[in-house]
Amino acid sequence: MSTTVLLAEREPATRGLLERQLKGDGFELAEPGCAPDLVLAGDDAALERWRGEAPVIVLGRAEADAVERVLAFRRGCDDYVARPFHYDELVERMRAVLRRSGLASAPLIAGPLSIDRRARVVTLSGRRVDLSQKEYELLVRLASDPERVFTKAELLRDVWGFPAHSRTRTLDAHASRLRRKLRAADETALLVDNEWGVGYRLLGLFPNPASDT
């Protein structure tokens, strides 16, 4: 099944280029009224319209500074690509966003944790866990390799699109909320573990109180 992309781009030359190249790479362009798998947003209106309904990549201004990019992420975009962009890099970013957003068909299973990526449904020990968009994306990334410790730089890049040198408490805050929600579903499961000075990983059923801070 092909991936459906909505081009919310008003600049004719850019839109025409993307239409031709995306079709050539096997993407399907969304028709009016269709629900897309991914949105390429050329302005804030498209971001506001589609956030929460489909992953959104903002095609930003060439002169955009770090503040403008951060604001776009806070408004709900999944990635930010400044113009002029390289098409091959854009496609790889699109594929990365689609992976993070759970369009792969096979569920992710890690012990008692199950993630239905098509339905975006998370269950732990048979109980459903309701997560925000970024909590869900963080959990999917951790569950993709449950025994691995992901560095903070990796998670900030892969889930939020932040550069490696970013200094923010966003990841720690989301990880803490995610841990609490998982424990509410199964109080014996720690799952989200903070490896001090490194990053985060998933654990099994047995809590380790020393790491829960």
- Please indicate whether residue 145 or residue 206 has the higher confidence score (pLDDT): 145
pLDDT per residue as tens digits for the range 162-213: 765 667 788 999 999 999 999 999 887 768 888 888 899 987 543 444 444 3
pLDDT the model gives residue 131: 93
**What is the distance between the alpha carbons of residues 207 and 140, in angstroms, rounded to a whole number?**
20
Map tokens 């992710």 to a residue.
108
Q: DSSP states of 37-101 as a string?
A: SEEEESSHHHHHHHTTTS-EEEEE-TT--HHHHHHHHHTT-SEEEESS--HHHHHHHHHHHHHHT
Per-residue pLDDT band for 34 (boundaries 50, 70, 90) equals confident
Which CATH architecture group holds 4-100? Answer: 3-Layer(aba) Sandwich (3.40)
**What is the distance between the alpha carbons of residues 107 and 154, in angstroms, rounded to a whole number?**
23
- Is residue 79's pLDDT more than 50? yes
- Is residue 150's pLDDT more than 80? yes
- Is residue 15's pLDDT more than 50? yes
Q: Model-level pTM?
A: 0.53
- Is residue 31's pLDDT more than 90? no
68 closest CA partner among 51, 44, 90, 89: 44
- Is residue 144's pLDDT more than 70? yes
Any residues with CB less than 8 A from the CB of 194 and at least 6 apart, and which? 172, 175, 200, 211, 212, 213
pLDDT the model gives residue 177: 94
Tokens of 48: 């506001």
- Is residue 127's pLDDT more than 90? yes
pLDDT the model gives residue 197: 80
pLDDT the model gives residue 207: 40
Q: Are 172 and 126 in contact (CB under 8 A)?
A: no
Residue 64 φ/ψ, nearest 5 degrees: -60, 135
Q: Is the CATH number of domain 108-211 2.40.30.10?
A: no
pLDDT per residue as tens digits for the range 38-52: 999 998 888 888 887
**What is the distance between the alpha carbons of residues 39 and 77, in angstroms, rounded to a whole number?**
10
pLDDT the model gives residue 166: 62
Specify the amino acid at residue 77. C
Q: Are 37 and 4 in contact (CB under 8 A)?
A: yes
The domain spans of the chain are 4-100, 108-211
The b-or-e profile of 77-93 (16+ CB within 10 A means b, else e) is bbbbbeeebeeeebeeb
